[in-house]
Amino acid sequence: MTILRKINFLSIENKEDKENKKMTYDEVDSPVGVLTIITSPQGLHAVLWENDRENEKCKNTIHHLHQSKTEKTIVQTKKQLQEYFQGKRKTFDLPLIIHGTAFQMQVWNELRNIPYAKTISYAEQAAKVGNKNKARAVGLANGLNPISIIIPCHRVIGSNGKLVGFGGGLERKEFLLKLEQNRLITDRVA
């Protein structure tokens, strides 16, 4: 549903050809599958799921990018993701380049305020961005989050406490939440 719009928010296809040539991508194996990282000299533009890559528009966009294993932000992103999956990192320190409407930017910024291993409901997130009745709009904006895991939309759940709506799939959302909760428990015991 959202990959076409995610790619649009990357602003890749709208950039001049000269600037496109500066954008790079690489893939990283992770416990939740192969992730695609898209960067430019300015920072990180996207962390995409495998199912995002199945979309023809996404394939075409990435096909026009240069693959790099050594670009600075790609190296940093891979390292920090690896540390996250090993339970050694709870926050990310990467230059993020995100594009969206003012509302989407507000929603995505609020996601970054959700503490590690904690969850909030879509209604709670909507209240934090100014209107508790916009839970559905918040959910749609979360679904368009181009920087999965690092901007932690997986930490938002249904008001009934159930896992709902996640671009990477509910099994990956559950994995990420359990990873964080288990690490938090391990830290308390240690």
Asked about 153 being catalytic, the answer comes back as yes
Q: HEC states along 118-168?
A: CCEEHHHHHHHCCCCCCHHHHHHHHHCCCECCCCCHHHEECCCCCCCCCCC
CA angle, 92 then 98 then 100, to 5°: 140
Cα separation of 121 and 41, whole Å? 35
Residue pair 74/39 in contact (Cβ under 8 Å)? The answer is yes
Q: How many helices (H) and strands (E) does the chain have?
A: 9, 6
- Alpha-carbon gap, residue 80 to 86, rounded angstroms: 10
Q: Which of 38, 150, 151, 153 is catalytic?
A: 153
Catalytic residues: 153
